Copies of this chain bind each other. A is one copy, B any other.
């Protein structure tokens, strides 16, 4: 089935209209719809892989990097994984209809605060076609319609995936306009989406810091910022050597290209000689380039001199910056200056310092003696992740399905008037 050629504005109005019926679907109907979407993705794997081949060919011609091509690529295994992820979302508990507060006023008026769908969720994101399916599935599971704006590099893949999903909606008797794209309107589509206040209830940007900055600045639709992670680990004076080494290595090496990977390690000067040689060597043995200040250069070999810009950089690579600090105050000051408020961790055996760190660091997730890689919806047990919010409004940290709902107060009376 082909999307009718109407304006981006009209598409969003169609999504808004569709959101009314989707918002009233039962838990079972929504779960069933997601399973049908997964089945349709499996059934249409050849078509999806063929569409993806077009994107890959264009990408090759345009000379985009092998890393980006890999993120763009969909083979049969990856398409199957996409369908499986949708089936996982189907199994999650319905986030709609939760009773969040209840009170009866002295006059007998019963007030209930319940979770309800937002209505229409928008997302602007970059090359990865899996986001197209993830966001659509999560939005629908929470009773929302969705308007998608993916990167132009994945345009053919996204068009095929959206067409397959819309077909599954139609086959299930659900208004297919509940999944919309504004991809075919190019940049104007993105602009229309950012200005669709009243039609789109919330906009979730996913991608580079630049993309997110653009959306935050230009959008009049409320945004949930899923920001970059300039993530810090502080090795306190009492940090055990094994925890320090294992946690820093895990936080940097296990998956360096993600937002919860560590970028800067701050080392208490009272522990520098004890910790730095071992930690730096362990990192280097796993291919990490260590950028360090004078002390780090003195205590370890093959250390690249750190420059000021490094402190504010999310490397997304096997690079880490290391700084020696006089004390916890200096570490907290450094974090205040450079943190993107995502995740920070302290390694310490000093309970007072641990509690101070937990209380004073202003980030979505603040840890003691654990790897920053745990900041993840899957690890937190949410079953699926919409993104990791680095803002303070509505959602902070890993966002699961409940964060794709809003609330409504229901008031049931029998003639009450205000005195």
Contact = CB atoms under 8 A, between A and B. Distances in A.
Contacts of A393: 201-202, 222, 224, 393-394, 406
Contacts of A185: none
Given A364-B409, A410-B358, A392 B105 contact: no
How many monomers of this chain does the complex have?
2
Given A240-B415, A413-B367, A418-B254, A406 B392 contact: yes
Interface stretch (A32-40, A168-176, A309-317, A373-381): A373-381
A284 interface: no
A381 B105 contact: yes
A264 interface: no
B369 A414 contact: yes
Specify the main secondary structure of chain A where it touches its partner.
mixed
Contact of A374 (B20, B109, B406): B109
Nearest to A24: B359
A417 B105 contact: no
Contacts of A345: 411
A338 interface: no
A363 B229 CA distance: 36
Nearest to A19: B362
Contacts of A20: 360
A275 to B, nearest CB: 14
Interface stretch (A41-49, A87-95, A241-249): A241-249
A217 B216 contact: no
A246 B415 contact: yes
A389 to B, nearest CB: 10
A103 interface: yes
A199 B392 CA distance: 12
A353 interface: no
Contact of A413 (B370, B392, B412, B414): B370
B417 A250 contact: yes
A407 interface: yes
A79 interface: no
A224 B373 CA distance: 32
Contact of A369 (B223, B246, B416): B416
Contacts of A363: 408
A417 B415 CA distance: 59
Given A202-B392, A246-B417, A379-B105, A411 B370 contact: yes
A371 B24 contact: no
A129 interface: no
A368 B412 contact: yes
Interface of A: 20, 24, 103, 105, 109, 111, 113, 118-119, 197, 201-202, 216-217, 220, 222-224, 240, 242-243, 246-247, 249-251, 254, 345, 354, 358-360, 362-371, 373-375, 379-381, 391-394, 396-397, 406-418
